[in-house]
Chains A and B, each alone.
Chain A
Amino acid sequence: AIQMTQSPSSLSASVGDRVSITCRASQAIRNHLGWYQQKPGRAPKLLIFAASSLQSGVPSRFSGSGSGTDFTLTISSLQPEDFATYYCLQDHDYPLTFGPGTKVDIK
């Protein structure tokens, strides 16, 4: 199975900060990766698909990059509504695997 690691596991940041979260796959997965935001008590919300494509309706401060094994989610200017947990998901092969998550909270 493809293992997904994420770093950091948590971070504290201020409104307006630039934030980056990385995800690494244990083998090459091309661009077969999505990024999700989850708030407490809510279902995950798609932010980025195919590693770098912005989902319709998602603010442009979110961006994704990477291919192969290394991927990054960047929030260019953190907003109050962005405090949440972020997960990457690979669907290059079954079993699908998620990163362990990155919790972003307020400094």
Chain B
Amino acid sequence: EVQLLESGGGLVQPGASLRLSCAASGFTFTNIAMNWVRQAPGKGLEWVSAISGGGLSTYYADSVKGRFTISRDDSRNTLYLQMNSLRAEDTALYYCARRGWSYGDYSWGQGTLVTVSS
């Protein structure tokens, strides 16, 4: 069974940094593209970033480009999101999502909450 467990969220001030982690199990992590998706309170889903299997390619939403960095450690089956220069509008529940074998197919963790406030 695919399991994704996010951690690292918390309350930070604007301009601060935070690193999120997603521990994966139940599948062969190495070959699988992984994503971060966020959801602001009461709002819809917003894709944030993706990394290819093996980590050679990374992709970012315009809203986070230059501030966030996605990475993975295949030896630890863990996905990361380094978030710098955080803004109030980055406040959201951050989900880790594993791309499945077919288009539109993603498995999700339960999320970790990031709150950016002074």
Which of A's residues lie within 8 Å of B, judged by CB? 1, 30-36, 38, 43-46, 48-51, 53, 55, 87, 89-92, 94-101
Contact = CB atoms under 8 A, between A and B. Distances in A.
Interface size range on B against A: 20 to 34
A31 B59 contact: no
13 contacts: A31-B103, A32-B103, A36-B45, A43-B111, A44-B95, A46-B104, A48-B104, A49-B100, A92-B103, A96-B47, A98-B45, A100-B44, A101-B45
B103 A43 contact: no
Nearest to A48: B104
3 cross-chain pairs, A with B, having the tightest CB-CB distances, nearest first = A34-B104, A49-B105, A32-B103
Contacts of B35: 96
A44 B103 CA distance: 16
B45 to A, nearest CB: 4
A44 B108 contact: yes
B53 interface: no
Contact of A50 (B44, B59, B105): B105
Nearest to B105: A49
A50 B106 CA distance: 11
Given A32-B104, A43-B111, A46-B107, A95 B44 contact: no
Contact of A44 (B45, B61, B102): B45
B99 interface: yes
A12 to B, nearest CB: 19
A98 B43 CA distance: 12
